Amino acid sequence: MSAPEQIRIVSRDSPMALAQVERVRSELAAAHPGVRTEVVPVKTTGDTWLGDLSQVEGKGAFTKEVDAALLAGEADLAVHCVKDVPADRPLPAGTVFAAFLKRDDVRDALVHPGGLTLDELAPGTRIGTSSVRRVAQLAATHPHLRCVPFRGNANRRLEKLAAGEADALLLAVSGLERIGRTDVISEILSPEAMMPPVGAGILALQCREDDTALIEAVAVLGDPDTHREADAERMFLHVLQGHCNSPIAGTAKVHRTGDLSLRACVFTPDGKTRLNAHEWAGRLDPATLGTSVAVALLRQGAREIIDGIPH
């Protein structure tokens, strides 16, 4: 089947989101020379509300307006960071993921203007992050550091850091790559030091489910290993049913042997309790692996931890 002549791509309007759209446009141009693309930028609640995300809709704050534009027919293709797409509920009715692009770096980076590493930071150093996952892990490993709430797109956070609103930041390596600012990285944290979130570094392409021509056309951009990792991670989070204040980390990996593993953790906000699970898929499909890892954490008391956190 031939590709559609024109594809309207909807996305958030942050510099990172627009860089993601450029990647999609160039991969589309390579796969389907001659296809025309148009960008439809939208602002999401998560972009305009810089307070506590749990006070607005929390999950979905970065995706709702993008999904609405897709469903209203104002655009044909949405580009999302999988990390920002709620996994506890199905995708908005009438939409599907048509492809997961090849995964970028899953790790977090420390941005410290003086170039120090996490272990070198002095007691009381203010780390700008509103991520409960990052706060809980830092509390466990570096209790002498102080996290201060920090929201806004990555460029905005770097500006706020330069203005002295924090002494250092934690940001995703993939995000810094997309905005062309890896120069600010003072240390890349291993997944052991800072477990990544579900969906880290993955971009998903979402279409209306009846748009079969487009679904077929963009499927060639999909990466099969990334798809397996995303399925395992998202099913893990779906079974666990977290909320926007629950510190949860999870990262799947397709190894050179082709086998898939999933490591995941649930933390208390103070980082004092950390539940761990690590399983291999073996004969299980990715979603069943995700279910199994979630059940392993539930057996250790994950439900009680998650439900005990105010939200």
Ligand X SMILES: NCc1[nH]cc(CCC(=O)O)c1CC(=O)O
Q: By CB under 6 A, which span of 32-40, 170-178, 222-230, 258-266 interacts with ligand X?
A: 170-178
> Who contacts 40 (Cβ-Cβ below 8 Å, separation ≥6)?
8, 9, 10, 11, 69, 74, 75
Q: Which residue has the tokens 């796969």?
A: 31
Binding mask 135-164 for ligand X (x = CB under 6 A): -------------------x----------
Q: Which residue of 12, 25, 59, 83 would you call a contact of ligand X, by CB under 6 A? A: 83
Least distance in angstroms from the C-beta of 169 to ligand X: 8
DSSP string, 54-76: GGTT-TTTTTHHHHHHHHTTS-S
Q: What are phi and psi of 107, to 5 degrees?
A: -85, 160
Closer residue to ligand X in complex, CB, 200/302: 200
Least distance in angstroms from the C-beta of 129 to ligand X: 9
Closer residue to ligand X in complex, CB, 32/112: 112
Q: Strand 36-42 relative to strand 168-172: parallel, antiparallel, unpaired?
A: unpaired
Least distance in angstroms from the C-beta of 299 to ligand X: 29
CB contact burial 46-55 (16+ within 10 A = b; e otherwise): bbeeeeebee
Residue 84 binds ligand X, judged by CB under 6 A: yes
Least distance in angstroms from the C-beta of 146 to ligand X: 19
Least distance in angstroms from the C-beta of 175 to ligand X: 4
Residue 88 designated active-site? no
**Total chain residues near ligand X (CB under 6 A):** 10
CB contact burial 266-280 (16+ within 10 A = b; e otherwise): bbbbebeebbebebe
Binding mask 171-200 for ligand X (x = CB under 6 A): xx-xx------------------------x
Q: By CB under 6 A, which span of 21-29, 79-87, 135-143, 270-278 interacts with ligand X?
A: 79-87
Least distance in angstroms from the C-beta of 300 to ligand X: 27
Closer residue to ligand X in complex, CB, 42/296: 42
CA angle 217, 222, 223 (to 5 degrees): 155
What three-state secondary structure class fits 277?
strand
User: Helix (H) and strand (E) counts for the chain?
Assistant: 10, 13
Closer residue to ligand X in complex, CB, 79/296: 79
- The answer to whether 23 and 203 have CB atoms below 8 angstroms apart is yes
* CA atoms within 13 Å, Cβ hemisphere of 201: 23
Closer residue to ligand X in complex, CB, 171/207: 171
Query: At how many degrees (to 10) do helices 286-299 and 224-240 cross?
Result: 30
Exactly one of 47, 76, 84, 108 is catalytic; which is it?
84
Q: Which residue of 201, 247, 286, 290 would you call a contact of ligand X, by CB under 6 A? A: 201
- The answer to whether 205 and 101 have CB atoms below 8 angstroms apart is yes
What part of residues 211-270 is at the interface with ligand X (CB under 6 A)?
none
Closer residue to ligand X in complex, CB, 32/80: 80
Residues that bind ligand X (CB under 6 A): 81, 83-84, 154, 171-172, 174-175, 200-201
Q: Which residues are catalytic?
A: 84
